[in-house]
Amino acid sequence: MAALTFNNVWKRYDQVEAVKNLNLDIRDGEFLCLLGPSGCGKSSSLRMIAGLEFISEGEISLGGQRINELEPRHRDIAMVFESYALYPQKTVYDNMANPLRLRKMSKDEIDRRVKETAAILEIERLLGRRPSQLSGGQKQRVAIGRCLVREPKAFLFDEPIAHLDAKLRARMRGELKHIQKTLGTTTVYVTHDQLEGMSMADRIAIMRDGVLQQVATPHEIFNRPANVWVATFIGDPPMNVLNAEVQTADGGLVARAPEYTIAIPDRQAAALSNARLTDGKVQIGIRPEALRLSQTPDAAHPIAGRIYAVQPLGDVEIVDVRVGDERILVKTELGTIQNEDIDVPVFMGYKPEKLYFFDAVTGEAVYE
Amino acid sequence: MAVNTAARGTSAGVDPSGPNKPTPRRYLAPLLLPAVILLALLSIYPFVWLIYMSFNAVGLAPGAPNEFVGFDNWSRMFSDSQYWESWGILAKYSVVSMVLEVGLGTLLAILLNRSKHEKLLITILLMPMMMAPVVAGLLWQYLYNGTFGWYFWILRSLGLLDEGTILGSSDIALWAIVAVDVWEWTPLVALIVLSGLKLVPQDQMEASWMDGAGPVRSFFQVALPAIKGSLMIAILLRFMDNIRIIDHFIALTGGGPANSTKILPLYLYEQSFSFFELGYGASIALTLLLVTILFGKLVVNRFEEREENPAKKDEELV
């Protein structure tokens, strides 16, 4: 077990910069999730830890030791691949024993470890089979087992459950988290699925276009996103972002758009007047679940719009509302509105403390 | 009649109701018949005729009768010491050149696979293969020539060849011809293996590195099982080619010196077309064919064993 550190790490493929100046400390025993859309550099970062990609610039260290020049086999890191990458001609037992045999471990010790690990993963009765005789979920367990037997310094997971069906994925999230917490091994987990990151990780590192956007606990990422991109990337359905202009009115600040005016709470007003917004342009973020909906206009529901579409989801529904040229999603309990026809007028209310403000040009969040 | 049925079979095959529907069984025979007839004329008839010839003293003049001689040709063959010697030389030749070609070809394929100039190098490597074997033989005869040959000169200069010429020494003439074959056909093996290397799963390769395997170990653990099929094809092709080779030998040595390069096909050629012992030649040809078929069957069986991995799926546990 060991801590992992990225120090000004760059990855370049010819003209493309896949990872740009990454600085990241992964603590000993931590479950860190690298999250981002495809092509954001998360896989490149992971593969640089593994030693499967050269580090173009900077340094990665494991347990305080620089590992840039070490070959993968000398890094003592285990990796689970998206495709599982099991050896098709070997049995499950031999697949799991392979890393131990390469370490010249005694036969008895190998046997003990493989069986122990198989018991943890509940794959004991599969040990004699070949990968072609396994289901996706079973293959995935064997791939994890091949990593567990080694007791390495760190685990790397590259989208390990992306190919499982939704039900199995939900179950494996719990299993993986349990295993990681039991063993306490430093783990880096790459995924594009925010649900996996939010539900499993101790901390999430969000990347976009090779640049690290924010590293924080899932709770903090959700509640205090660093910028508008992170804010809209996390959360389902995504956060609504409205464009407005900051103006002075009645001694305070308001954000004004053609269709509505939103009073800016005092605690954020100070920050906003200090933050030098370009042309006074601001983006207002509000999560769909923070909006209230009503079919009668009143002071508590000041933003007027018209229904664009309604998506029922069991106990809740997502109402897509058109306001001027913009569209706002509202997540509300089923039956909040009676008339769900298209173009029916609706009115939205919000709690001022649930509003986020972002610099419209830089996208940076403005907090009090 | 057969053509008519075949035409109807074809239109049924493109039935709009199901473009991927397999052709009904009753159409298979008429559809295959034309090809089967052609094949029969081209290869089965000569084959049967060959068997007939091996039991006869074949008359040479047009219309001359064949004389049935029973097993005479066959018994003569089994007591013919040159026949067995020729088998020995052929075995040495084909095994050594096959091993060299497959070994070097695999190595070459690995290097090509890593090279940035793969396409250019492949084009260059293909050149020897484009040459007719006889032309290649003649070319090498110049290189081996005892007066002005390059290789002759080099070997002499290095002191590796004390006396005589390359093709004139019964110790090394055979190996000189092996070199020609290796030169001409290693690139083909390399190409076949290269196509196999393209299919080596990169993720398994990486998993094996992560498991702690070095480059050699990961090659044997991941790459070799993946290119086994290509290797089998290369071995089969080269063996079947080498066992019936004659071009290089005619161009370079004609069987000499002192019969040291008289491989079986050359002996067969000599018996049939120099001494016109067509019946005897037929018996030799049949034994050659038999060995080719047996070896080919052996390789194909090994290949199929590998392909038919048991994939019985038990009930799924998740």
Rounded CA separation B171/B144 (Å): 15
Report CA-CA distances (Å) from A344 to A261, A301, B18.
Answer: 21, 15, 48
Mean predicted confidence (pLDDT) in A318-333: 91
Residue range B53-79: mean pLDDT, rounded? 83
Inter-chain touch A126–B317, beta carbons under 8 Å: yes
* Interstrand relation of A154-158 and A186-191 (parallel, antiparallel or unpaired): parallel
* Amino acid found at B213: A
pLDDT for residue B302: 81
Range name among A35-44, A263-272, B172-181 with the lowest pLDDT average: A263-272
Task: Report all structural domains of chain A as residue ranges with CATH numbers, in order of start.
Answer: 4-229 (3.40.50.300), 240-366 (2.40.50.140)
Nearest-CB residue to B203 (from A85, A98, A129):
A85
pLDDT score of A235 more than 50: yes
B204 contact residues in A (CB cutoff 8 A): 85-88
> Which residue among B210, B213, B225 sits closest to A79, beta carbon to beta carbon?
B210
Q: Where are the domains of chain B?
A: 2-53, 74-305
**pLDDT-based confidence at residue A64 (cuts at 50, 70, 90):** confident
Per-residue model confidence (pLDDT) at position B67? 81
User: Which 3 state secondary structure label does DSSP give B110?
Assistant: helix
Model confidence band, residue A56 (pLDDT cutoffs 50, 70, 90) = very high
Q: What is the pLDDT of residues B196-252, one digit of tens each?
A: 998 888 899 999 999 888 888 888 888 888 888 889 889 999 988 888 888 888 888
Instruction: Report the share of chain B in percent with pLDDT over 90.
Output: 18
> With an 8 Å Cβ cutoff, are A133 and B311 in contact?
yes
Backbone dihedral angles phi then psi of residue B49, each to the nearest 5 degrees:
-60, -40
* Confidence at residue B3, expressed as pLDDT on a 0 to 100 scale: 42
Stretch A102-128: mean pLDDT:
90
pLDDT tens digit string along B148-161?
Answer: 888 888 888 887 77
Retrieve residue A153's tokens: 């310094």
> Distance from B311 to chain A by nearest Cα, in Å?
6
- Using alpha carbons, list the distances in angstroms from residue A141 to A91, A115, A186, B204, B210: 14, 14, 19, 16, 17
Distance from CA of A105 to the nearest CA of B (A): 13
CA–CA distance, B32 with B39 (Å, rounded to integer): 11
Q: B309: which chain A residues are within 8 Å (Cβ-Cβ)? A: 88, 130, 132
Tell me how far apart the alpha carbons of residues A207 and A39 are, in angstroms, rounded to a whole number.
9
How far off is chain A from B217, nearest CA to CA, in Å?
Answer: 9
Chain A partners of B208 at a C-beta cutoff of 8 Å? Answer: 87, 98
Residue in A86, A99, A122 nearest the CB of B212: A99
Residues A128-146: pLDDT tens digits?
999 999 988 889 889 989 9
**Whether pLDDT at A355 is above 60:** yes
Query: What does the pLDDT average to over A167-194?
Result: 90
The pLDDT of A302-319, averaged and rounded, is: 91
Element (H, E) at B133: helix B133-144
Q: Give the Cα separation of B120 and B109 in Å (integer).
A: 14
Q: What is the pLDDT of residue B19?
A: 58
- The residue type at A348: M
What pLDDT does residue A348 have? 92
% of chain A residues with pLDDT over 70: 99
Whole-angstrom distance, CA of residue A229 vs CA of residue A213: 9
Domain B74-305 class?
A: mainly alpha
Q: State both tokens at A315.
A: 């106990």
Residue B9's pLDDT is what? 42
Q: Mean pLDDT across the stretch B87-91? A: 91
Q: Give the model confidence (pLDDT) of B4-39 as tens digits.
A: 444 444 444 444 455 566 777 888 888 899 998 998
Answer for the pair B211, A102: CB distance below 8 angstroms, yes or no. yes
Question: Which residues of A are less than 8 Å from B315 in CB distance?
Answer: none
pLDDT at residue B274 tops 70 = yes
What pLDDT is attached to residue B13? 42
Contact B117, B228 (CB under 8 A): no
Among A86-100, A267-281, B190-204, the range scoring the smallest mean pLDDT is A267-281
> For position B315, what pLDDT does the model report?
38
Average pLDDT, chain B: 82
State phi, psi for A252 to the nearest 5 degrees.
-120, -170
Nearest to B56 by CA among B279, B283, B282, B275: B279
Tell how strand A211-216 and strand A203-208 pair up: antiparallel
Give the rounded percent of residues in chain B with a pLDDT score beyond 70: 89
Give the separation between CA B81 and CA A300, rounded to whole angstroms.
112
Nearest CA among B226, B4, B31 for reference residue B110: B226
> Measured in whole angstroms, how far is the alpha carbon of residue A48 from the centre of its chain?
20
Judged against a pLDDT cut of 50, whether residue B313 lies above it is answered with: no
* CB nearest B209 (choices: A72, A103, A137): A72
Q: Report the pLDDT averaged over residues A20-41.
A: 92
Which residue, B244, B141, B233, B133, is CA-closest to B191? B233
DSSP state of A227: B
CB contact (8 A) between residue A146 and residue B203:
no
| B64: helix, strand or coil | coil
The answer to whether B213 contacts A103, with C-beta atoms less than 8 Å apart, is: no
CB A155 within 8 A of CB A185: yes
Least trusted range by pLDDT, from A314-328, B1-15, B183-197: B1-15
pLDDT at B314 over 60: no
| Distance spanning both ends of chain B, measured CA to CA | 58
Higher-pLDDT residue of B153, A331 = A331
State the Cα–Cα distance between residues B267 and B245, nearest whole angstrom. 12
Kindly report the average pLDDT of chain A as a whole number: 89
Based on C-alpha coordinates, what's the Rg of chain A?
Answer: 25
Sign for the CA dihedral angle at A303, A306, A308, A309 comes to positive
Residues of A in contact with B312 (CB under 8 A): 133
Mean pLDDT of B91-116: 91
pLDDT of residue B306: 59
B contacts of A73 (beta carbons < 8 Å):
209-214
Shortest distance, CA B226 to any CA of chain A (angstroms): 10
pLDDT confidence of residue A6: 92
Burial A2-21 (b: 16+ CB within 10 A, else e): bbbbbbebbbeeeeebbbbe
State the pLDDT confidence band at B115, using cuts at 50, 70 and 90.
confident
Q: Which residue has the tokens 């509940």?
A: A122
Q: What angle do CA A200, A203, A205 make, to 5 degrees?
A: 110
When pLDDT is averaged across residues A51-61 and rounded to a whole number, the result is 92
